Amino acid sequence: MLQRIAIICSAAVLAACGPVSEHAQVEQDGLIYCSEGNPESFNPQLGTSGTTVDATSAQIYDRLLDYDDKRQQFVPALARGWQALDNGTRYRFNLRTDVSFHHTNWFEPSRHFNADDVVFSFNRWLSQQHSYHYVNGGRYPFFRSSGLIRLIHSIERIDEYTVDIKLNQPDSSFLANLATDFAVILSEEYAQQLLRANHPEQIDRLPIGTGPFQFELFRKDFIIRYQRHENYWRQKPEIKRLVYVITPNANKRMLKLLTGECDVIPYPLVNELSKLDQNAEIEVGSSVSPNVSFWAFNTQRPPFDNVLVRQALAHAVNRPAIVQTIYDGNARLATGMLPETSWAYSSAEQTYPFDPAKARELLSAAGYPDGFSMTIWAMPVQRAYNPNAQRMAELMQADLARIGIDATIVSYEWNTFRQRLVEGQHDSVLIGWVADNADPDNFFRPVLSCAAARSGNNRAMWCNPEFDKLLVSAISESNVDQRKHLYQFIEDMVKQQAPLVPIANSLRYQAHRSDIEGVELPPYGGINFRYARRVNDDSL
Amino acid sequence: MIRYSLRRLILLVITLWLLSLLLFSLNYWYPGDPLTNMSGITANNTIAYQQAELARGFDHGLLSQYVHFLEHLIHGDWGISLVTEQPVFDEIKPLMGATLELGLLAMALALFLGIPLGVYAAIQQRGLLDRVIMGLSLSAYSIPVFWLAQLFILLFALKLNWSPISGQINPLYAINVQTGSVLVDILISDSPYKTAAFYNALHHLWVPVVVLAIMPLTMLIRIMRNSVLDVLQQNYIKAARARGLTDRHIMFRHTLPNALQPIVRQLGLQFSVLMTNIIITEVIFNWPGVGSWLVKSIYERDFPVIQAGLLVLASLILMVNVFVDVVHAWRYPQIRKEIDAE
């Protein structure tokens, strides 16, 4: 009997080895990325979630221009070139003529990319009359909160490969915004086909773009499958298949990286980083990520509409201890909204020190000597700016208890969580912001302006016309020293009003098997697999 | 026999009806709009919502709503998921395939190992191997499945690297999901790497199957051992011995068929235990089955999906139990007499 068991066991082990060569071939041609969550849709125009951007922007789509962060300049992409005309209120883009869209089971393009596609992609979010504007929600949070919707007057097709974009006023951040991961180009022909078939909503579910990979299949909570775009207009990617395996649990992601089930993982557990680095099969990459994690108060709800209460709460939490525990030395205590890497950064301290006595005083002054109870919403996912919001919330819970505030921690699945934040169901939330471009404006307008409050991206639901005026004057100023000065004013105002408490600026980490090369993690934007390749062991 | 089967079937129908009543009421007990909970259509989508209102009888009283609810249920129109906005019924089919694959393989493994081991332990009663088998099965029985799964992952995946941690197959094989059962899907796929894919799937499959099989396996060993011991005490075995039949003949012709009776009776119960464990196992191994889907939907408060998951798992357990009962009564007429005598 024991013999029989032994035979069965060894059969199982043998089965595990299998035909090695075929297996090696399949592995050689593909790459598995264990992503941290489900994308909300397959169109980055519709959201600001980093997970969606990672799954779409650099893989499925291209933009008119790209930002090269090494040379710190804009480089041509779908546009061969551009000129600023009429004192910077009109931009003319000359488009490439050799760009083909994805050929898939659900769409066969009959023509190459041209001006119609650009006009369609822009008008979708720009014009409320556009037939696709309200398809799948009709909120374009990035374009609304970055001000692009109000900045662009109109977009015009000049000829088949030329478009003009007219602006309402000159703006120094315009090109930077066009180079972000959100300003992607969709296919107009595909949109028309869907409209005729009466299924316009499919445009964001079965996406068609010009990017290096084409979408194949998405199974929620399990996988997203892409294959190489064989007619890609730039250098084709080396890997033939790209698969995202959705693995929300950070521990499991690490384990799967160790067993080789994942080739690349985002957001490895920060406190395990040093251990991972010693493992020869695994390499840890980091990039400067212009981000800030913060604790935002819902200023529409009492008692958080009272600035004294907000200041008290800012005094009540021990931020240095939190940063030490959560980031384990891989982050810097935030001194304001702007991270150290921004050119408008100043070393002046623009946050509140930890001082429970002062916090109690402020609470009494605000009329809450006995404290109150509140909720802290903690993100269910790891982000570069916050690897463990739940734990952070627990630490804050303890700090708050010392000044008599009874805090409960709330969390939902990520997409539900974001949706309820937009609806303003929270008292306070631990979340953060990753900048989309290098302009300091991007740390304020999309996060704290009135427009952002309307589009639901302003987690503090804070709208202050004076603050908005400051933002506008900063963006219209072209003198860099003057602008820097203005951003210090803005930082001061954020401190005074305390709609949120900045917590930390951290690096963004990513870990991969050592036989993978070329996975790009640009500071502004999502992960990019265009140059990814697998190095053969023989060639090492 | 026919009377007995009919009685069982009527009982099944009544239980399913009670289940449908429960599911129907859940829609009103959940927070939010009952129509949204039932159909997955939110009030934002005005036109579809009004259509659903009519189609599901929400302009009439509760009774008519229930009748429409049943109608939709039977026609496979189980509403759409609140999260993915896809029809729940279409989503559940491949998941069901994955769950059944895991469950059936585990059950088969348990039967394949459990019966011989139980018989062997009975023959060797109080021998060394009997003690080893019984000791091991008792300790294995007392290990909760979530812990066992983690233990196996730690041992086989991380330390020995004999198996991956999760999933059905290396996703690079790009096997399209049709039935949901990965082995079947590979066989009907047109992948150029069928053999390699098949091995890879087995490579993924064996740990969750073993984890699931252990609980029913230990039960089966113990039941089988006791039952064989019981039968061996019977007069007809003694008579057979006296007639000079060989041990082999007695075992296969007289002992085994009779000793299997409690096993068949236990199968229904064991299947229920298996289905409970499968939910946990699927979550741990990221298995794309009904169990992990149900757990996920609870986190997401996706009411149409919760209902469908409950319905499918509960009716599966009910039907298997009734089926086992009927087979049991058909194979072992003495049971029918016991039941009828009540």
What is the per-residue pLDDT across A505-540, written as a single tens digit (0 to 9) for each? 887 788 899 888 888 887 777 889 999 988 875 444
Q: How many CB atoms lie within 10 A of CB A468?
A: 18
Nearest alpha-carbon partner for A220 in B210, B177, B53 = B177
pLDDT tens profile A466-504: 999 988 888 877 777 888 888 888 999 999 999 999 998
Are A305 and A256 members of one domain?
no
Instruction: State whether A259 and B195 contact (CB < 8 Å).
Output: no
Residue in chain A closest to B119 (alpha carbons) equals: A1
Are A233 and A337 members of one domain?
no
Instruction: State whether B165 and A259 contact (CB < 8 Å).
Output: yes
Are A146 and A94 members of one domain?
yes
- Angle at CA B249, nearest 5°, toward B245 and B255? 105
Instruction: State whether A259 and B164 contact (CB < 8 Å).
Output: yes
Q: Three-state SS for A71?
A: coil
Are B154 and B44 members of one domain?
no
Of B46, B75, B104, the position where a domain reaches its end is B75
pLDDT tens profile B208-238: 999 999 989 998 898 999 999 998 888 888 8
Of B9, B42, B75, the position where a domain reaches its end is B75
Are B135 and B10 members of one domain?
no
Are A170 and A254 members of one domain?
no
Are A88 and A25 members of one domain?
no
Instruction: Specify the number of domains making up chain B.
Output: 2
Looking at A14-23, A28-37, B239-248, B255-264, which range is the least confident one? A14-23
Residue at A540 is within a domain: no
CA separation for the pair B269, B264 (Å, rounded): 10
Using 50, 70 and 90 to split pLDDT, how confident is the model at B277? very high
Are B116 and B26 members of one domain?
no
Element (H, E) at A450: helix A450-455
* A12 neighbourhood in chain B, CB within 8 Å: 202, 206
Token code pair at residue B165 = 């941690």
Using 50, 70 and 90 to split pLDDT, how confident is the model at B338? low
* A252 neighbourhood in chain B, CB within 8 Å: 165-166, 286
Q: Find which of B172, B224, B301, B303 to mutate to test the A interface (most A CBs within 10 Å of its CB).
A: B172
Q: For position A31, which CATH number holds?
A: 3.40.190.10
Sign of the alpha-carbon dihedral angle for A237, A239, A242, A245: negative
pLDDT tens profile A175-230: 888 988 899 999 999 999 999 999 998 999 999 999 999 999 998 888 999 999 99
pLDDT at A309: 92
| B301 touching chain A per CB within 8 A | yes
Instruction: Specify the number of domains making up chain A.
Output: 3
Residue at A206 is within a domain: no
Q: How far is B299 from chain A (nearest CA, A)?
A: 7
Using 50, 70 and 90 to split pLDDT, how confident is the model at A145? confident
Residue at B326 is within a domain: no
Element (H, E) at A226: strand A223-228
Element (H, E) at A56: helix A50-60
Of A189, A224, A246, the position where a domain reaches its end is A189
pLDDT at A327: 83
pLDDT at A211: 93
Residue B131 confidence (pLDDT) above 50: yes
Q: How far is B136 from chain A (nearest CA, A)?
A: 13
pLDDT at A61: 94
Q: Find which of B133, B150, B166, B206 to mutate to test the A interface (most A CBs within 10 Å of its CB).
A: B166
Residue at B199 is within a domain: yes
Count helices and strands (H / E) in chain B: 15, 0
CA separation for the pair B88, B294 (Å, rounded): 12
Average pLDDT of chain A is: 86
Instruction: State whether B301 and A221 contact (CB < 8 Å).
Output: no
Are A257 and A356 members of one domain?
no
State the count of interchain CB pairs (< 8 A) between A and B.
105
CA separation for the pair A228, A224 (Å, rounded): 14
pLDDT at A209: 94
**Domain coverage including residue B71:** 1-75
Instruction: State whether B171 and A32 contact (CB < 8 Å).
Output: yes
Are B297 and B150 members of one domain?
yes
* A29 neighbourhood in chain B, CB within 8 Å: 172
Are B191 and B244 members of one domain?
yes
Residue at A368 is within a domain: yes
Are A52 and A74 members of one domain?
no
Residue at A205 is within a domain: no
Are B235 and B115 members of one domain?
yes
Token code pair at residue B123 = 């023959």
Instruction: State whether A16 and B120 contact (CB < 8 Å).
Output: no
Q: How many CB atoms lie within 10 A of CB A369?
A: 11
Lookup result for tokens 């086909």: A193
* A255 neighbourhood in chain B, CB within 8 Å: 153, 157-158, 165
**Domain coverage including residue A145:** 62-189
Residue A2 confidence (pLDDT) above 50: no
Lookup result for tokens 């590979």: B186
Q: Three-state SS for A153?
A: strand
Q: Which of B113, B172, B195 sits opposite A19 (nearest CB)?
A: B195
Residue B7 confidence (pLDDT) above 90: no
Instruction: State whether B193 and A26 contact (CB < 8 Å).
Output: yes
Residue at A338 is within a domain: yes
Residue in chain A closest to B86 (alpha carbons) equals: A220
Looking at A275-284, A362-371, B140-149, B235-244, which range is the least confident one? A275-284
The ipTM assigned to this model is 0.82
Q: For position B191, which CATH number holds?
A: 1.10.3720.10
Are B65 and B190 members of one domain?
no
DSSP A375: E
Residue at B314 is within a domain: no
Q: Which of B172, B286, B301 sits opposite A241 (nearest CB)?
A: B172
Q: Find which of A7, A8, A9, A26 to mutate to test the B interface (most B CBs within 10 Å of its CB).
A: A26
A contact set with B (CB within 8 A): 1, 4-5, 8, 12-13, 15-19, 22-23, 25-27, 29-30, 32, 216-217, 219-223, 225, 241, 243, 245, 247, 252, 255-256, 258-259, 261, 412-413, 415-416
Are A374 and A446 members of one domain?
yes
Are A132 and A165 members of one domain?
yes
Are B101 and B223 members of one domain?
yes
Residue at A94 is within a domain: yes
Are B252 and B129 members of one domain?
yes
Does residue A432 contact residue A385 with C-beta atoms inside 8 Å?
A: yes
CA separation for the pair A464, B10 (Å, rounded): 68
Query: Can you name the residues that pair with A294 across neighbouring β-strands?
Result: A431, A502
Residue at A329 is within a domain: yes
CA separation for the pair A389, A410 (Å, rounded): 11
More confident residue, A452 or B338: A452
* B301 neighbourhood in chain A, CB within 8 Å: 412, 416
pLDDT at A276: 73
Residues within 8 A of A (CB atoms), B 111-170 only? 113, 116-117, 120, 129, 153, 157-158, 161-167, 170
pLDDT tens profile A102-114: 999 999 999 999 9
Are A490 and A370 members of one domain?
yes
* B292 neighbourhood in chain A, CB within 8 Å: 221
Average pLDDT of chain B is: 87
* A222 neighbourhood in chain B, CB within 8 Å: 167, 286, 288
Q: What is the percent of chain B with per-residue pLDDT over 90, rounded to a whole number?
A: 25
Q: How far is A13 from chain B (nearest CA, A)?
A: 7
pLDDT tens profile A301-315: 888 999 999 999 999
CA A525 to the chain's CA centroid:
6
DSSP secondary structure letters along A267-329: S--GGGHHHHHH-TTEEEEEE---EEEEEEE-TTSTTTTSHHHHHHHHHHS-HHHHHHHHHTT
Are A174 and A256 members of one domain?
no
Residue A13 confidence (pLDDT) above 50: no
Using 50, 70 and 90 to split pLDDT, how confident is the model at A335? confident
Residue A483 CB contacts under 8 Å (≥ 6 apart), including other chains: A344, A440, A474, A477
Are B54 and B143 members of one domain?
no
Using 50, 70 and 90 to split pLDDT, how confident is the model at A7? very low
Q: For position A70, which CATH number holds?
A: 3.90.76.10
pLDDT tens profile B46-104: 888 888 888 888 888 888 889 888 888 888 888 888 888 888 998 898 999 999 999 99
Residue at A201 is within a domain: no
- Give the residue-averaged pLDDT of A342-366: 87
| B199 touching chain A per CB within 8 A | yes
pLDDT at A20: 58
Residue A290 confidence (pLDDT) above 70: yes
Are A263 and A308 members of one domain?
no
pLDDT at B15: 92
Are B103 and B246 members of one domain?
yes
Are B150 and B263 members of one domain?
yes
Q: Find which of A34, A134, A201, A261 to mutate to test the B interface (most B CBs within 10 Å of its CB).
A: A261
